[in-house]
Amino acid sequence: MSIERKKADTIIKGFKKRRPATLQWNFLFPVIILSLLVLTAIFAPLLAPYPPNETSLTELLRPPVWAAGGSTTHILGTNNLGQDILSRLIYGSRVSLSVSLLVILITTIIGTIIGIFAGYTGGRTDALLMRITDISLSFPAILIALLLAVILGPSFGTVVLALSIFGWAGYARLIRGEALRLRQADFVSQARITGSSSIRIMTRHIFPNVINPLIIIATLQIGMVILAESALSYLGAGIPANAASWGSMVSDGRNIIDLAWWVSFFPGLAIGLVVLSGNFLGDWLRDKLDPRLRQL
């Protein structure tokens, strides 16, 4: 064996040894962050040192505990109303997680039904449904949310409606592509020959085979939905200002960023970590669930 061949084998072996560690880290980081988010949302009343809307005129704009003027009674400081940043951050996780899960549930159901029906049926039905999907994808969700906020008023329901009304389109396009591929599969042809109805084929044969890509895209959407909710709250079209949400917390500190950076920094950091975690977990699941990538 030549020296060059030995060097190549050594490099390949080293890469194979390092690759699982990288994938493991890509899995552990998002799981830890998202698990903390879920646990924080569930046990918010036990973890928060103060009620989220409790104000104190003597504790206005108190800096974090490690900064000059900070106090152990407010670890992450207070805002311009004397409200505890840590408490509002903890309760804000409830809003972000609730909106994210509800929007993903609604958009997943609608998008999956439309995608499978369009892909399996084909023809004019497919063309019509895909044109509706294209129109939905062309509408900016932020502007629709602002319009709904004017009509219905800022609320939890307004945010969920605004993010769900067109959010299904991405799921529908992805699932439709998978359904187009699967309807030509041998097991689907055999089901037709045995007399299975179209509904049975779509629910018993096609749907189980689109679950993997569905899980991947839903995981990737966790951070994106939280980011969208935060953007709407920041613009005043989302969660009402009196309710603790990460977007409204960032908005509270935008005019005093030079005096009290911590008011916007900590909720912004939480949003960034959750978005990154959702992306990392989605990439990891894609590597694990996609058979074409598992063979690499």
User: Is residue 154 very low, low, confident or very high in pLDDT (cuts 50, 70, 90)?
Assistant: confident
Q: pLDDT tens digits, residue range 175-192?
A: 998 898 888 888 888 888
- Fold of domain 3-294: MetI-like fold (1.10.3720)
pTM of the model: 0.81
Q: Write down the pLDDT at residue 15.
A: 43
Q: Write down the pLDDT at residue 123.
A: 85
Q: Which amino acid is at 107?
A: T
Instruction: Take residue 177 and report the two structure tokens written for it.
Output: 């592509």
Q: Write down the pLDDT at residue 9.
A: 53
Question: At 184, which helix (H) or strand (E)?
Answer: none
Closest CA to 158 of 221, 89, 245: 245
Is residue 197 classed as helix, strand or coil in its secondary structure? coil
CA pair distance 159, 274, nearest whole angstrom: 19
Q: pLDDT tens digits, residue range 10-24?
A: 544 554 444 444 457
Q: In sequence order, what are the residues at sequence separation of 6 or more whose Cβ sits closer than 8 angstroms to the Cβ of residue 288?
A: 294
Q: How many CB atoms lie within 10 A of CB 236?
A: 15
CA pair distance 106, 168, nearest whole angstrom: 8
Closest CA to 239 of 136, 93, 40: 93
% of the chain at pLDDT higher than 70: 89
Residue 196 dihedral angles phi and psi, to the nearest 5°: -65, 140
For the chain, the structural domain boundaries read 3-294
Taking 70 as the threshold, does the pLDDT of residue 166 lie above it?
Answer: yes
Mean pLDDT to the nearest integer, 115-136: 89
> What is the maximal distance between C-alpha atoms in the chain?
79
Q: Write down the pLDDT at residue 90.
A: 93
Query: Which ranges in 235-295 belong to alpha helices (H)?
Result: 246-252, 262-289, 291-294
Mean pLDDT to the nearest integer, 111-115: 93
% of the chain at pLDDT higher than 90: 14
